Copies of this chain bind each other. A is one copy, B any other.
Amino acid sequence: MPTSPETSPATYQLTLMPSGRKGQVSVGTNLLDAARELGVELESICGGRQTCGKCQVIIEEGNFPKHGIKSSPDHITEPTNLEIDYDQEHNLSGRRLACSAQILGDLLVTVPDESQAHKQVIAKAATERSIEVEPAVRQLYVEIEPAVLGDPRGDWERLAQALEDVWQLTDLVIDTKALLTLQSALREGDFSVTVTIWQDREVLRIQPGYQDGVYGLAVDVGSTTVVAHLCDLRTGAVLATQSAMNPQVRFGEDLMSRISYTNTEPQGLSRMNRQIIQTLNDLAEKAAKMVGLSPRDITDVVVVGNTVMHHIFLGIDPAQLGVAPFALATYSALDLKARDLGLTLNRACRVHTLPLIAGHVGADNVGVMLAESPRDHDGISLIVDVGTNAEIILGDRDQVFVASSPTGPAFEGAQITHGQRAAPGAVDRVRIDPQTLEPRIKIIGHDDWIEPYSDPLQTKATGICGSGIIEAVAELFLAGIIDSRGHFIPSVAEQTERVQFEGLTAAYTLVEEQYSATGSPILVTQNDVRAIQLAKAALYAGTKLLMDHRGVNSVDRVILAGAFGTFINPFHAMVLGLIPDCDLDQVVAVGNAAGDGARLALLNKNLRQKAVHLARSATYVETPLETNFQDEFVAALNIPHAEHNFAHLEGLIPDSPPERPRRRRSRIRSRTQ
C-alpha cells in the first residue's frame, strides 16, 4: 500500500517515563510488549491476560484530547471488558493495564514503580546501592487445555505445553513433590494455575487459579548467631527478620571445639546438624507467621556461613577443616533441595549455598565480597572479618587476594584473663585519662559512660569483651602505661595503685572488686596485652602479605565486617595497628555483610553467578606457605609497629571520649539496626 502524507504511519512514537526511553512502535502493539521492545520490563504474572493487574501504567499524553494534544484522536484503544471488570473490582484510578491498551498514536506513558519489573531495592551495604530484583524463582499464571477424551497426554505435559506457548519455556521438569499436587490444583483452578518455577527450569509449586506471592529466605549461619530474612521475591522487600543463638554453642564456642565435638562424639555431627536445621525451621516458621504466611510459601533459600558452619549445615563432617591441609569437601556453590537437608519449607523448596574459597574462607566471606566487592570500587579496598581466624580480602577492580590469618580468639574476648563474649555486663568501651590514669568504661546494656571511682555502678561489670580489651590495650598505650613493646612501664606503678607488678608480670585494675559482679577486680594483665599483640600482629601480617601480593603500600578503604567490625572503634584499631593507615572516614563497619550477601543472591540470580566469579577469580594466599609471613608477624608485634605511621593520628587522640569515633559509632549502630 503506498504511503501518502494523509495515511497514518505504521508506527508511532512511544515515550516511557521515568526512564525517558522512547522509540517507534507498530500500531496495535499493546503497551506491555511495546515497553519490552523499548527495554522497559513491566511486571506481569498473568502473561497478558488482563487479570493480574501488575502492569498498570499511567497514560500521560495521547489518550485524551483534553490532555494536550488537542486535535488528535485517541491514541490508545478503549478498555476491554476484562479491563473494565478489573477496574470495577480493584479500582484502576484512571490507570490502564498495559497488556490491554494498544497503541493507536504517539503516546507518553509513565510506568509507576510498582509496575516496574526487576525492581530496584536499596542494599543495606557500606555503600548504599540498588540491586535489581531478579530472583531464581518466579510465579507464572497459565491456563491449560482441559483434559479431554482422545488426548492421552498427562496434565503435566499439557501444563508444560502451555508454559512453552505462553512463556516460551522449554525443557521444563517438575519436582517430584510438585507433581503430587498438580491434578488437584488444576481442577480446583478450573485448568488455570499459578506455577512457581526455579531458574526457568523446574516447576516447584502449582497453585490453583491466580496467586500472587513468592517468597524466599536469606540465611546467615554464624558460629554464634543465626539470622534469617524472609523476603518478598517480587518486590525485594524484607518482610521479617528472625535470629537465634546457634544452638551448637553448647558444644563449643569456637569452631575448633565444634570440630572436635564431631571427632569425639559418635553422634556429634548428626546432633549439631539436626540442631541447626531445627533452628532454621523455627526461624522460618516464626518469620512466616509474623506476616501471615506459612513455611510452605518459601520456595527458595540462600545460605551463607563459614566453612565449618557450611559443612555441618549440609551434614558433612568438618573433621578435615581442623587439620592441615584444611581440605573442604567442596568449594562450589551448590543447588540443593531443602527437603534433602531436613528443612520443612515448601516440599520442593530450593536451597542455594554460596561458594567457598578455601579451608578457612567460607561462604560468609563470599557473601561479604558480594556485598562489598573490591572489584566494584576504585582504589584498594581492604575487607577484614575477624573471628577465631581473620579473613582478609584485599584488592581493587583488577585483582583480589584473600587470606586467612590465625588471630586466635583474643579479639572475641577469649583467652583474656577476664574476657567474655559481648553480652550484657561486659565492658565494651574503655578510656584512660593520661593524667590521672583513671579509667572510664561503658558496659553493654548501659548507655552512659561510667567512671568507677566516682560513679557507683548501677550494674556491676562481669568481664571484658573483645572491643573492650582492644580499647583497653590501646588506651593503656596512649596513657603511657605500656610501652610500644607492650610492656607495663615499672615507673607507672608509682603514679597509680591501679598498676601492680608481681614478679615478672603486671596488671592494670580496670574495675575494682566492689564494682565487679564476680567479686574480684577485673584486670588487664601483661598476658592480655600480649594476647592482643599476637592477634593484631597476625591480622596485620596477613594484611601486609596481601598488600605485598598486590604491590601496594597503603589501602584506600577499610571495611570491617561482622560483629567485630561493628563494635570495634576504628580509631583504636588503627592506634593498635590492627589495620593499616587509612583516612578514618574511609573505615567503615558494615555489620552482617555476609547476611546482606545472602540476601543479594536470594533477590538476584545473576549475583549467584557473580559470587562464583568473585570466589574463583580471587587469589587465595596460604599464609603458612608464605615465607614472609613470620617476618611480617614479628615486625607487627609492637604498638605502633615499626611500619605504622602513627603521627597523623596524634591530633585525634581523645582524652575525653572522642567526637569523631563517637559519631562514627552511632552511624555504625544505625547501620545494624
Interchain CB contact under 8 A, B183 and A327: yes
Query: For the complex, is A17 an interface residue (Cβ under 8 Å from B)?
Result: no
Q: Which residues on B sit within 8 Å (CB–CB) of A315?
A: 180
Interchain CB contact under 8 A, A329 and B150: no
Q: Which residues on B sit within 8 Å (CB–CB) of A176?
A: 314, 334, 336-337, 340-341
Return the contact of A625 from the options B149, B179, B317, B332 (Cβ within 8 A): B149
Number of copies: 2
Q: How far is the CA of A356 from the CA of B358 in the complex (A)?
A: 48
Interchain CB contact under 8 A, A330 and B152: no
Q: Given A179-B314, A314-B179, A624-B149, verify A154-B330 contact (CB < 8 Å).
A: yes
| Complex interface residues of chain A between 583 and 628 (CB less than 8 A to chain B) | 620, 622, 624-625
CB of A325 to closest CB in B, whole Å: 4
Residue of B nearest to A358 (CB): B152
CB of A365 to closest CB in B, whole Å: 12
CB of A405 to closest CB in B, whole Å: 14
Q: Which residues on B sit within 8 Å (CB–CB) of A187?
A: 320
Q: Given A156-B329, A157-B331, A330-B174, verify A317-B184 contact (CB < 8 Å).
A: yes
Q: How far is the CA of A317 from the CA of B336 in the complex (A)?
A: 26
Q: Among the interface residues A147, A183, A328, which one has the most CB atoms of the partner chain B within 10 A?
A: A183
Return the contact of A151 from the options B148, B182, B320, B325 (Cβ within 8 A): B325
Query: For the complex, is A316 an interface residue (Cβ under 8 Å from B)?
Result: yes
CB of A173 to closest CB in B, whole Å: 9
Interface string of A360-384 (1 = CB under 8 A from B): 0100000000000000000000000
Q: How far is the CA of A324 from the CA of B328 in the complex (A)?
A: 55
Query: For the complex, is A155 an interface residue (Cβ under 8 Å from B)?
Result: yes
Interchain CB contact under 8 A, A317 and B150: no
Interchain CB contact under 8 A, A154 and B331: yes
Residue of B nearest to A341 (CB): B176
Q: How far is the CA of A157 from the CA of B149 in the complex (A)?
A: 51
Q: How far is the CA of A356 from the CA of B155 in the complex (A)?
A: 12
Return the contact of A179 from the options B157, B180, B329 (Cβ within 8 A): B329
Interchain CB contact under 8 A, A150 and B625: yes
Q: Given A179-B330, A180-B315, A314-B176, verify A320-B147 contact (CB < 8 Å).
A: yes
Query: For the complex, is A349 an interface residue (Cβ under 8 Å from B)?
Result: no
Interchain CB contact under 8 A, B154 and A325: no
Residue of B nearest to A619 (CB): B152
Interchain CB contact under 8 A, B152 and A319: no
Q: How far is the CA of A151 from the CA of B331 in the complex (A)?
A: 11
Q: How far is the CA of A177 from the CA of B334 in the complex (A)?
A: 13
Interface string of A174-192 (1 = CB under 8 A from B): 1011011011100100000
CB of A263 to closest CB in B, whole Å: 12
Q: Given A337-B176, A340-B176, verify A328-B154 contact (CB < 8 Å).
A: yes
Please give me the 10 A-B residue pairs with the lowest Cβ-Cβ distance, nearest first.
A152-B358, A147-B327, A154-B328, A156-B330, A154-B330, A154-B331, A149-B325, A152-B620, A150-B622, A176-B340
Pick 22 A–B contacts, CB within 8 A, sort by A: A147-B325, A147-B327, A148-B325, A149-B625, A150-B325, A152-B358, A152-B620, A154-B329, A154-B331, A155-B330, A157-B330, A157-B332, A174-B330, A176-B334, A176-B337, A179-B316, A180-B316, A182-B329, A183-B317, A183-B320, A183-B327, A183-B329
A positions within 8 Å CB-CB of B: 147-157, 174, 176-177, 179-180, 182-184, 187, 314-317, 319-320, 324-332, 334, 336-337, 339-341, 356-359, 361, 620, 622, 624-625
